[in-house]
Chains A and B, each alone.
Chain A
Amino acid sequence: MNNTIPGSSKINRWVLVPLILGIVLTAVFGFRAVRSFAQVQLTSLKPGTTDVEAIRGWMTIPYISKMYCVPANYLYKQLNVPFAGNDQKSLAALNQEYFLGQPGAILPKIKDAIRSSKPACQNGTISP
């Protein structure tokens, strides 16, 4: 007695790959989504708040100046980096150029500079 479904191996081949991939993706991204959602919940999200730990290598000095209400000239001075020609460069590029590419050398300096400064914002604009 033959109790197989004709063509079932063909079905299996076409269904099994996306099925397994679907299970793997659901498990991996389900876990990650729950974890990142919990992270969002734990970090009390206050729009507009800034933390120096959020400074990243892609940021430019003018951007950091605006975000943290610290005059750009002050930041350039603290880093010993000239203003001219550097306003469009990221921290990573400045690190490469002025700190001999030592990984992350610029980050502690800029964080210290922000911590030791007084916020200069008044109604969203930086006072000179």
Chain B
Amino acid sequence: MISRREFVLGASAAIGVVGAVRPLLGWVTDESVAIPGKDGMIVRSFRFLDLEMPVEYANSFLTPVEHFFVRNHMHEPSTLDAGEWRLNISGEVEKPLTLTLAELTEMEQRSVTNTLECAGNGRAFAIPHVPGVQWEKGAVGTARFSGPRLRDVLERAGVRSTGKHVMLRGLDEVPGKVPAFIRSIPIEKATDGDTLVALHMNGAALTRHHGFPARALVPGWIGAASCKWLTEIKVLDKEFEGNFMNPGYRMPNQPVKPGDAVKVEDTHPATALNVKSLIATPSGGASLKSRAVDIRGVAWAGEANIEKVDVSTDSGATWQQAQLGKDRSHYAWRLWSYSWKAPKPGDYTIVSRATDTQGRVQPDSVQWNPSGYLINVTDRVKIRVQA
């Protein structure tokens, strides 16, 4: 066991007096650190906290919260009192209102099992490299989110016919002159019956890292749409114009060659997730003693459903169809498995390729774009079979 130590300022009173020092909170000096509520995660960054799920944890329909990835653009709220927290709804509405957590809890609750994936998951595979958190495979997870429908919250305020987009703002603490993390979604998605003001995750109250006490849950869409620590909902007559809508989180309108520059006017906001699969086991680099190989993984498709997953054990030369798991829910990944017997000892490359109900198929090469978003290249692992 490696020693661990978190650099935490104990004098909480001092924090309020000298706000400028807040960035030092949570400073971690060792490579191996305990973060309450998290286990075995890949540490992409401590400040701001970005934790990736090791791909071997993609082995269950619901991802335990302790293994669920964390993506923060800035500091998490340093203090959050559920009793004092409020959700304000304003903008193009008849009756601006403020709701308490208790009031949200009293509303009709809806549960949606959703695969949440960071738009930048897989960015590390973009060549030429692009700046940003170098996520590999595990900025993704599936959880059961519960809370009132965003539609019901908006109905209480009465959306005017001029309301076309819904702005979501969280309590992220903004350092320096960084633009606040504010995004918007079209009114059609906001009023979809599966879009939530989520209060619970896998049956328990949201944890701090996942947006306590409330977050948006915009199912099937990039994680950035599901704003954490939600505090403000504003109905707008047009898309929100801020850094995290433009130039942030945009995709080229047309495929581009790796390394090409793209003008912002030739882009559109990233919304729904791509079709994608991961191989959870065996792990890349595994040396197996048995020729009987149990190949397992997950596959998801944003707003679509998974049609099939094909597996190759010869680096893509031939393909066999995997068996899909019984657990299923719209917006959620499917578990898949394929039992294979290696013909002889040696080195093999296993590849997984998902197809969805919209006919989309994972590409066999990275679809490069300047921000490394929505990368969904077929997954592949190299293994050695010994016996």
Pairing of A with B: no
Residues of A within 8 A of B (CB): none
Residues of B within 8 A of A (CB): none
